[in-house]
């Protein structure tokens, strides 16, 4: 009996701007292969891409960092949590690894981090894969709009945010909108909750939640970037996402009309139950976009 080539993955820390950034990186069979930068979402970390790395990592170089305030990355006391600072650290992480061209996979928080990188260095972006990474007002549900409107001075605002940081809130983000919750392994949300319960992590998430409005204020600039640069784009989207519904996926076609769009009957974390469908799409896209 023969088996597919197993993916070799390394797990390292890299000191970036006083932050000890943890990342996963596949070691493909060849050096001259497409590079995919995987930018994770809330409340997760690079572990959300473990299965995708296992499937594709022997053919491509996949790099997945944890942001400050997430996963195994260690940020110093007093780190100012904002999306600008997450992008700053990610930018310098990319520089430290010597990456000058890559396809960028943006999911959830990965979209505001990734689009900030794209605005600064459009030449870095060989292509764009979007999985429930919103950049349009169309893609904001009523619940998302209410959440984004929260401000520190409003009574009960912080308590509302902290309500999402509980085991029930974290599990709900994985299972809401999913056709078969039994298809969602508990490993993802339980590991996310472990990290959320570490000292200082909830405070980091509250600060980022209060800063989320800054992303909406950038939507127009990101849409203009897409129109100007028209990167090869693949959109794979959980259509039943309670935060970022399907109109947010379709909206990309206004600015990147040649984008390839696939909607799946699932929720926010589409890779959890649709990896067999999504992984081949990613592989085919990497081959086309890299050329």
- Out of 40, 47, 218, 268, pick the active-site residue: 268
Q: Is 192 left (phi over 0), alpha (psi -120 to 50) or beta?
A: alpha
Q: How far apart are CA 28 and CA 51, in angstroms?
A: 15
Contact (Cβ atoms closer than 8 angstroms) between residue 85 and residue 113: no
What are the distances in angstroms from CA 270 to CA 52, 77, 171, 183? 12, 34, 14, 11
Q: How far apart are CA 133 and CA 76, in angstroms?
A: 28
User: How would you list the strands of the sheet with 19-27, edge to edge?
Assistant: 8-16, 19-27, 61-65, 35-39, 102-107, 125-131, 233-238, 260-264
Nearest to 231 by CA among 129, 120, 133, 139: 129
Q: How far apart are CA 143 and CA 147, in angstroms?
A: 6
Contact (Cβ atoms closer than 8 angstroms) between residue 262 and residue 235: yes
268 is catalytic: yes
Number of Cβ within 10 Å of residue 29's Cβ equals: 11
Q: How far apart are CA 252 and CA 233, in angstroms?
A: 9
Hey, which residues are catalytic here? 268
């Amino acid at each position: 009996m023969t088996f597919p080539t197993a993916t070799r993955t390394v797990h390292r820390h890299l000191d970036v701007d006083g932050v000890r950034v943890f990342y996963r990186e596949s070691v493909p069979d060849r050096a001259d292969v497409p590079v995919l930068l995987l930018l994770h979402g809330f409340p997760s970390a690079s572990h959300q891409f473990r299965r995708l790395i296992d499937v594709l990592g022997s053919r491509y170089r996949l790099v997945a960092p944890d942001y400050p305030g997430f996963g195994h990355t260690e940020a110093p006391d007093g780190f100012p949590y904002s999306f600008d600072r997450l992008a700053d650290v990610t930018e310098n992480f990319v520089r430290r690894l010597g990456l000058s061209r890559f396809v960028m996979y943006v999911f959830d928080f990965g979209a505001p981090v990734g689009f900030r990188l794209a605005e600064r260095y459009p030449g870095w972006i060989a292509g764009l894969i979007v999985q429930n990474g919103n950049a349009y007002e169309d893609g904001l549900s009523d619940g998302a709009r209410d959440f984004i409107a929260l401000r520190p001075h409003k009574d009960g605002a912080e308590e509302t945010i902290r309500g999402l940081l509980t085991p029930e809130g974290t599990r709900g983000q994985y299972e809401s909108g999913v056709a078969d919750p039994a298809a969602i392994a508990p490993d993802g949300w339980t590991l996310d909750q472990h990290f959320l319960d570490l000292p200082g992590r909830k405070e980091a998430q509250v600060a980022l939640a209060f800063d989320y409005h800054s992303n909406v204020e950038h939507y127009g600039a990101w849409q203009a970037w897409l129109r100007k640069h028209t990167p090869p784009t693949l959109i794979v989207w959980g259509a039943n996402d309670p935060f970022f519904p399907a109109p947010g996926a379709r909206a990309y076609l206004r600015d990147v009309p040649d984008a390839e769009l696939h909607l799946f009957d699932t929720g926010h974390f589409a890779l959890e139950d649709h990896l067999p469908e999504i992984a081949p799409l990613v592989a085919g896209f990497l081959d086309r976009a890299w050329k």
